[in-house]
Structure 1
Amino acid sequence: MSATDGPLESEPAPPRVLTVAGSDSGGGAGIQADLKTMLALGVHGMSVVTAVTAQNSLGVQGSWELPPDAVRAQFRAVADDIGVQAVKTGMLSSAALAGTVAGLLADLDPPVPVVVDPVGLSKHGDTLLHEQAVDVVRTRLLPLATVATPNLDEVTQLTGVVVTDEAAMSEAARAVLALGPRWVLVKGGHLPGAERYAECADLLSDGRTEHWYRSPRYANPHTHGTGCTLASAVAAHLALGRAVPEAVGLAKEYVRGAIEAGFPLGAGIGPVDHGWRTR
């Protein structure tokens, strides 16, 4: 190219997806998992960090929330200049942070798809959502969700419904939908005695239709980051213009491969492999 040829035309920006979540220093979950997932699925990932965790394959050793003003400033910096086409929320920790994020999402103009992963516990059982914050998630955040993606422990935390078999997942979906999201994806990976089943089943419902998604259950114990990865994959496919049932199906297939390829890291539970399609 000569100096007289003029500038090369830039390629259009890919769809932009914003994750609002905590940081995982071990790289398997949280912001780190979200951004890896978004890159793998062809969207541009951006982040609002709500909390910093000292975390590895053995669990969470410490957690420090950011001030609401810092969360607000990050969100506005991205939304006001770059713009977003979908948002995924993860670890919000406190009532103050959950309320701040709910207010920011309510003010987005135009509205965009929002995937709410109501993170309550880490893979190791560490508390990631304070008790006072649960009510804020119920009353202010879930009504803004295009899709909510609770696991069974989070269903109980939010609604009191205890799920012991697949038949009860429909009741769980109705209970979560009563809190206001347009769709709910009830994740069945933690069913009691699930290790006896050859498949892992998730249920997507909008209160009128049900979609069941089934995938093989792998013996691989390295599953750190599955919930974050699934919610981020759903948000990525929504930003790409796909309808909710298709977005969930494609996200489920991506996570299936990531779980199958999960690898050991450290002395405990290793992460899923976000780059499994390129290995």
Structure 2
Amino acid sequence: MTSYLDFEKPVAQLEERIAELRSASENDEVDISSEIARLETKSADLLASTYASLTPWQKTQVARHPERPHFRDYADFAFEEFMPLGGDRYFGDDLAIMGGFAKLKGPKGQNRRVMLIGHEKGNDTQSRIKHNFGMGKPEGYRKSIRLMEMAGRFGLPVVTLVDTSGAFPGIEAEERGQAEAIARSTEACLALPVPMVSVIVGEGGSGGAVALASAERVLMLEHSIYSVISPEGCASILWRTSDKASEAAQAMKVTAQHLKRLKVIDRIVKEPAGGAHRDPAMMAASLGKALSEELDALADLPSETLIRTREERFLQLGG
């Protein structure tokens, strides 16, 4: 059953009515198929018009939708033979950040071997606790460094799927060198001798996102967000209250559309009507197609060009 956001209530009412009519039609001799079809068309049109004019705060809510597909969903739908690799070889493993070898499904069965890395938030209470809500710890970022270096040695392109509200802020993470791990992960991205494509698939929050998104090509899903701080965090600093989060989201330019115009990202990947959570398989297929196109464009570039492209990209931001 779909979870509806506050601004989706009119759509929820229509879909509830459609469900009631379908249930009634099974035990009723009167043909009401035409009425059901009319309401389905009305619901689809309302959903499309609603999502065509979302505010930045509403997009933030969609990016955080509890049913939105996460790393493991994309690994299952857009990739094959995902082989997770664990541990940072220093302290332990961090399930908020996952990674390993995979094959990106390509057109006509032309699959490409890649190193796939990304944040996993989990999809229910138990798995969210297990994956620490996608908030990476130092060992997660050090694992990412290890996997990126491995990809460089084997000549495999790197694909990262970013979806985190930020790196884990707990005292134990700071004791184990959180800031240093994030900085070194960012450095590892910039120094990669192989192509790297990063995608913001939900939330891209703070340094926890940048540590996996310092690539020569950065994509965002249509209703994802990317910012240096959450809207609530920004509002708490500026207005001393998180109640101003919607105003903060508007001012911060967190949406894919804003960031494309500002040249912070390179491409927006369209989502199914009503958001990625309404059709994860379709979303994964669209993402896989976009990734294949981006990697095809980067495949023949020498290492020196890739590294220089990344450096120039980030040095020019805000210029």
Task: Compare the two structures and name the one with the higher helix fraction.
Answer: 2
TM-score by length of 1: 0.43
Task: Compare the two structures and name the one with the higher strand fraction.
Answer: 1
Q: State the structure with more CA Rg.
A: 2
TM-score by length of 2: 0.39
